[in-house]
Structure 1
Amino acid sequence: MQKCAIVTGAARGIGLATAKQFLEQGYVVSAVDRDEAELEKALGELGEGAIGLPYDISFPEKAEAMVTDTLASFGRIDALVNNAGVADFGPVEDTDFARWRRVMETNLDGVFLCSQAATPALRETKGAILNIASISGLRASTLRVAYGTSKAAVIHLTQQQAAELGEYGIRANCVCPGPVRTKLAMAVHTQDIIDAYHDAIPLNRYGTEEELANVITFLCSDKASYVTGQIVAVDGGFQSTGVGLPALRK
């Protein structure tokens, strides 16, 4: 039976690149995204071996349905990539509770719910959980009071998962992307921000979705069989030089 990966937030960006790499490596894939129209487009790119589940994983019943439907289609779960996230930035003073909850319910609650729902199946396969956080969860930056806090919580949640689920053979790791050249990032980053990032990143460029997917799929693979509880910044060295660009400030 082929190995199976679930990837949330799979309709675009890092999630889509990761789903493609899993398929290339011989996995079958459950591609999960609440944006049904974009998910349909993504399935056209993914082709055979992938199913689309148009679920909002911030709801417990949808996380459970994601697992139930995956097992019904593929019979097993070997990797869960918790990639779905909301990037909603704003100053501390302008972040009302509605914005705070909108970010937390997907970025943090969704990771918790999906991981919990998938744990029984992952116990059967001695599988892997891979959570996507951010360098904004490692170090504070401007306009990220909700986003950065949610990602910092994901980092700690990963270590909790590693500590408690290791006895079942389940590994849990976390990837913290730095600036990535996604369509969304390029649409919202001004030239000043792009230039500032290039100046601040030792490798002097944005990462690519494929470079993130390389690390994600590696950490889910048997080649990383003794790696768990690790927080890996995939950021061109950005964390080593600090976060908080003047161009991002008001």
Structure 2
Amino acid sequence: MNPRHHLHESTLMSYAAGALPPALGVVASAHLEGCAHCRQLLRDAEAIGAALLDQTQPEPASARQAAMREAMLAQLEAEEARDTPVRPLRPLATPVAGDTAASSHPDPLPVSLHPYFGPSLRTLRWRWIAPGVHCIRAASMPSLIMLRIAPGKCLPMHSHGQSELTQILRGAYNDALGTFAPGDMADLDEDVEHQPVTAPGVPCICVSALDAPLRFSGWLARSMQRFVKL
């Protein structure tokens, strides 16, 4: 797999800082599992973040002040642990490419998606939402969805309320931005308006995360939006 479309640098910086919304972080993790290029950029972003953090640290305090500060932080962390569940900065650690956990099932899904959709495409139970379009919504994260779109299907023209990340798992689609094939990432924002057309041959299967509902241009798609909830 050699992706041609990657995560935007700003998305990688947010991911490195743990600032991506959870659903977007899951899709970003799925792309990073198979993209050495973006993994290297992520390491660079983490190194930059660490350097900036070092530059903003205050001057060393006295040993007594440092001990008091550490004791106070430990007490605050203990109180927070009792009151709220611990939430990791990232949805999942990014596995190394070729991880046996990701390849021990037929038609395996990226490891990052296992908690939400299971380990294999063969176990998915699709729900019909439109002619030629089926969907699965993660029960614990409604803005994280898997789509299966029939070959040669032209989707309605639409733009995006905020951010959208879409990772292609099987098949392909074409739009004004190019051809998106397995491993490719569509990192889109509210300035992008497009009309994907799936390639002939096999269904296009992708996982997507949305920050806000899509904005459809046609009245028919808009009227159906409240039923499909995209």
Provide the TM-score with structure 2 as the length reference.
0.29
Provide the TM-score with structure 1 as the length reference.
0.27
Larger relative strand fraction: 2
- Structure with more relative contact order (C-alpha pairs < 8 Å, separation 6 or more): 2
Q: Is the radius of gyration larger for structure 1 or structure 2?
A: 2
